[in-house]
């Protein structure tokens, strides 16, 4: 297959990255909703201890309007922005700016989303809410990454990590997002360092193992790519983007049978997704199976 491998390397990573961006957007939405639902009396003071799940409860004073603002933003980003602006004037603190950033992100208006998240982070820090500030810097970084400004994203992720996050999933995801920014900037060695930290902090996140395998493949470290895509498959066997990358790694390590099986699985799992379509295209490039005889 002399012409297949160069085409493979040139065409598949953008589809994988698109899947990652959608996954990260869903995570941001889930985190915002979970943060709003996390209020529990009595309201915590500044520097409240982090819960076992890594989240900081929203004080009861802000919980109901925060949830209402998020609900508005989910239904209509413009309505969410209007709600957040009024609430901010009425004393909504950094939670109002947080919701404003969320609403702008829902509308894919990345520049105002970045500003809102950064302003929320700065306001949280002035109130000595360092963990909340860190989370908001991370959301600003994700907005920058979604908007195509990888340098800005790296700066915001660095700000998030500098403010301190507890060990665990959330810190791991920030390092993973930072690695994505570094890959976009062509800083492969630094990206590998961040990915390694992410894998240590969030070993159950299949996205980390997927990105690690993809980066290893790009770097020519096929042994690492094989090991890490195998872990991603173990954690998320029904993810088409994982199946796509499993096939990518397999074809580059002379395992055409495994590649075929993986790509066929990607097509079955999500035929209309970018990963499914890329896998289907790759299958057309493989030589036909020899008839049994």
Residue whose pair of structure tokens reads 């996050």 in the numeric block: 165
Distance between CA atoms of 107 and 100, rounded to whole angstroms? 11
What the block records as the tokens of 35 is: 């943060």
Q: What distances in angstroms separate CA 108 from CA 98, 104, 113, 143, 170, one per listed residue?
A: 15, 6, 8, 9, 23
| 58 or 16: which leads in pLDDT | 58
Categorize the per-residue pLDDT at 1 as very low, low, confident or very high, splitting at 50, 70 and 90.
very low
pTM: 0.78
pLDDT of residue 47: 37
What the block records as the tokens of 241 is: 């983007």
pLDDT of residue 165: 83
pLDDT of residue 32: 45
Phi, psi of 100 (to 5 degrees): -60, -45
pLDDT of residue 290: 56
What the block records as the tokens of 226 is: 């094989």
- Render pLDDT for 137-148 as a digit per residue (tens, 0 to 9): 999 999 999 999
Contact 217, 193 (CB under 8 A): no
pLDDT of residue 176: 93
- Render pLDDT for 62-85 as a digit per residue (tens, 0 to 9): 888 999 999 999 999 999 999 999
- Render pLDDT for 142-186 as a digit per residue (tens, 0 to 9): 999 999 999 999 999 999 999 888 888 889 999 999 999 999 999
pLDDT of residue 213: 96
pLDDT of residue 56: 54
Phi, psi of 9 (to 5 degrees): -70, -25
- Render pLDDT for 185-219 as a digit per residue (tens, 0 to 9): 999 999 999 999 999 999 999 999 999 999 999 99
Distance between CA atoms of 85 and 95, rounded to whole angstroms? 11
Is the predicted pLDDT of residue 93 greater than 60, yes or no?
yes
Phi, psi of 242 (to 5 degrees): -65, -45
Domains of the chain: 1-23+204-286 (1.25.40.10)
- Render pLDDT for 251-278 as a digit per residue (tens, 0 to 9): 999 999 999 999 999 999 999 999 999 9
pLDDT of residue 170: 87
Is the predicted pLDDT of residue 40 greater than 50, yes or no?
no
Phi, psi of 150 (to 5 degrees): -65, -35
CA nearest neighbour of 32 among 120, 127, 130, 149? 120
pLDDT of residue 250: 96
pLDDT of residue 166: 82
């Amino acid at each position: 297959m002399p012409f297949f491998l160069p085409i493979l390397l040139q065409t598949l990573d953008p589809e994988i990255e698109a899947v990652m961006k959608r996954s990260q957007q869903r995570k941001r939405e889930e985190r915002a909703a979970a943060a709003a639902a996390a209020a529990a009396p009595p309201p915590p003071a500044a520097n409240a201890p982090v819960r076992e799940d890594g989240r900081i409860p929203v004080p009861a004073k802000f919980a109901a309007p925060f949830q209402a603002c998020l609900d508005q933003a989910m239904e209509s980003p413009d309505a969410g922005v209007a709600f957040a602006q009024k609430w901010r004037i009425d004393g909504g603190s950094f939670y109002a700016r947080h919701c404003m950033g969320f609403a702008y992100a829902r509308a894919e208006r990345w520049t105002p989303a970045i500003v809102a998240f950064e302003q929320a982070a700065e306001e949280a820090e002035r109130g000595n809410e360092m963990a909340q500030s860190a989370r908001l810097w991370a959301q600003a970084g994700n907005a920058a990454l979604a908007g195509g400004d990888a340098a800005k994203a790296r700066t915001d992720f660095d700000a998030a990590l500098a403010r301190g996050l507890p060990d665990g999933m959330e810190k791991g995801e920030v390092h993973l997002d930072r690695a994505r920014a570094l890959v976009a900037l062509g800083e492969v060695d630094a990206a590998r360092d961040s990915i390694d930290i992410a894998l240590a902090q969030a070993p159950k996140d299949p996205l980390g193992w997927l990105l690690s395998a993809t980066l290893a493949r790009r770097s020519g470290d096929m042994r690492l790519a094989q090991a890490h895509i195998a872990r991603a498959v173990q954690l998320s066997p029904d993810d088409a983007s994982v199946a796509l990358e499993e096939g990518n790694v397999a074809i580059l390590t002379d395992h055409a049978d495994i590649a075929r099986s993986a790509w066929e699985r990607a097509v079955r799992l999500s035929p209309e997704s970018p990963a499914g379509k890329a896998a289907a295209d790759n299958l057309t490039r493989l030589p036909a199976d020899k008839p049994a005889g």
